[in-house]
Every structure is written in C-alpha cells, then in structure tokens.
C-alpha cells in the first residue's frame, strides 16, 4: 500500500507542475517545468527541472490524462488491498 501512496504523491507533484505550466502558457519569458518519474527502492520519486522552453499544451494535456489514469490505478490497488485485508481479518475472527 505504501508504494501506491508514494506513487500518488509523486503524481500529485507532477500534476501541480503541469497545471502551473498550463496556467503560465501566456506568461512572457516563462520556462516550463519538466517532471520525470523514477523508481527508487520500492518508491517512486518525481524529479522536476526547468526546460528553458515554452509550454507545449498538447504535451501537458496528454501528461495530465496519463497522471489521472495512474492515480486512479493506484487508488484501485489500495482499495483492493484494503478489501483483501478486511476479508482476511473476517476469516480469522
């Protein structure tokens, strides 16, 4: 469950950076922030860096759809694990 929770927190950081890029698409001299996801010993880490280029709206929108689906998948995994633990506890009583 912890891996899924860490992944969801990293996805949240990625979504925040993407939303900030979209919000500043018309801001003069704004450099977009690029976020990459890396796995590190059973955890997922979001790393951000300035790109030095303008915001690409098509990339940001597809990234946001990917983030949304990833968060949904991790939430479903947590729900399933919770149900399995609940069923196991019911069997032991």
pLDDT in tens, 40-57: 777 888 999 999 899 999
pLDDT interval class at 93 (50, 70, 90): low
Rounded to two decimals, what is the model's pTM? Answer: 0.82
Please state, in angstroms and rounded to a whole number, the distance separating the CA atoms of residues 13 and 17. 6
The token pair that represents 66 in the structure block:
């990917």
d(CA 87, CA 13): 33
Q: 13: helix, coil or strand?
A: helix
């Amino acid at each position: 469950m912890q891996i899924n929770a860490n992944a969801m927190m990293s996805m949240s950081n990625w979504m925040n950076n993407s939303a900030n890029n979209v919000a500043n698409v018309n801001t003069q001299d704004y450099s977009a922030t690029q976020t990459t996801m890396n796995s590190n010993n059973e955890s997922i880490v979001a790393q951000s860096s300035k790109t030095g280029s303008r915001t690409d709206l098509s990339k940001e929108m597809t990234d946001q759809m990917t983030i949304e689906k990833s968060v949904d998948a991790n939430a479903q995994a947590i729900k399933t694990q919770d149900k399995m633990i609940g069923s196991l506890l019911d069997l032991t009583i």
